[in-house]
Structure 1
Amino acid sequence: MSALNPRRPRRSTRTAKRQRGIAAIEFAFVFILLFIALYGVVTFGAIFYTQQAISRAAEEGARAAMLMPQPPTQGNVCQAVSGSLARSLAVPSSTCTSSTPGLISILLAACPGEPSCAVVTVTYRYKDNPILPLVSLFDTSWVPDQLRSSATVALKAS
């Protein structure tokens, strides 16, 4: 028994040396698990934010199509969508070229069977330009290849 604490036996120096690095090893295991959980939550949040930005851009394009002189043009709708995407700070704005599909594609189409209706569809290839880099050590099969949103609007009668 120790003279300082009569209930507690004194540890030998041999036992203390064996216990020296156990806290660092435990921290390493816990840190890895916490990092994986935090990375998953932040990545999901980034995808969710990007989807919201794409949806808002499609709505802005549809609103612009409604307010423009009829019939709306692809270029004018594309400018409205690009402006909305530029304000999101997460999604790069599109170049509004319809010749080659790039990172973002914008499609203005008439509603089937409705002449006074337009659909604006914005597609963003997320796997080609994610907000956060995808770590190859983790399973990223749940990350979508592309995010898509559509907005439908009734056009003013000419």
Structure 2
Amino acid sequence: MSACPFRSSKRGRLERGIAAIEFALVLSTLLVVFYGLVSFGAVLYAQQAISRAAEDGARAFTGVNDATDTANIALIKNIVYASLATSHVTPANAGSTTAQRKIWLQTNPNVSVTVGTSGLVTVSYPYKENPIIALPGVLAPSKLSGSAKFSM
């Protein structure tokens, strides 16, 4: 007499157990890789946004006649802050509108924008204090910075 195919054997139960262990190992590995990609992607996005803001400031330098005038420097800084505010690098408590995020950037003492007389615009942002995605266990850089220089 042959065994019934619907009857569960000891070997079938063991194979189901091994499949569950393999699934758990593969899933945990994929989750770690996904976690790393999201963390790295957030830092990379913030770095690109900061570099773009510095480039926007350097572009604004072209319309300035006197690079030592404080009004012109304030105008260039305003353009850099506006660029940063539209890129959503600020934390959620900074506000939901672009104007609120811009005010947060301008009043945060750790966000610095320097404009050199040679056309060099440098932006420094405290990323570790204000990450885009707060993920536990991520070794985020303490500061991100970008610089751009206007040249003809």
| Shared fold (TM-score, shorter chain, > 0.5) | yes
1:96 corresponds, among 93, 106, 118, to 106
Using a 3 Å threshold, how does the CA distance of structure 1 residues 2 and 75 change in structure 2: closer, same or farther? Answer: farther
1:107 corresponds, among 82, 102, 114, to 114
Task: Answer yes or no: is 1:33 the counterpart of 2:38.
Answer: no
Q: Which one-letter code corresponds to 2:135 in the other structure? A: L
Q: Which one-letter code corresponds to 1:128 in the other structure? A: E
Using a 3 Å threshold, how does the CA distance of structure 1 residues 24 and 4 change in structure 2: closer, same or farther? Answer: closer
Q: Number of paired residues?
A: 138
SS in 2 for 1:145: coil
CA positional deviation for 1:80? 0.1
| Larger helix share, 1 or 2 | 2
CA positional deviation for 1:36? 0.8
CA positional deviation for 1:27? 1.7
Instruction: Give me the whole-angstrom Cα distance separating, in 1, the residues matched to 2:141 and 2:88.
Output: 20
Structure 2: runs of 5 or more not aligned:
91-100
Match of 1:76 in 2: 75
Q: Which one-letter code corresponds to 2:123 in the other structure? A: V
Match of 2:39 in 1: 43
Q: Which one-letter code corresponds to 2:112 in the other structure? A: S
Using a 3 Å threshold, how does the CA distance of structure 1 residues 39 and 124 change in structure 2: closer, same or farther? Answer: same
SS in 1 for 2:58: helix
Q: Which one-letter code corresponds to 1:96 in the other structure? A: Q
Match of 2:124 in 1: 123
Match of 1:64 in 2: 60
TM-score by length of 2: 0.73
Percent identity (aligned): 43
TM-score by length of 1: 0.71
Q: Is the 8 A contact 2:122 2:147 kept in 1?
A: yes
Residue by residue over 1:64-101, the C-alpha shift from the partner in whole angstroms, topping out at 9 and shown as x without a partner, is 2321342353321221011111221234545335xx72
Q: Is the 8 A contact 1:75 1:96 kept in 2?
A: no
CA RMSD in angstroms comes to 2.8
Using a 3 Å threshold, how does the CA distance of structure 1 residues 3 and 89 change in structure 2: closer, same or farther? Answer: same
The higher-RCO structure (CA 8 Å, 6+ apart) is 2
| Larger strand share, 1 or 2 | 1
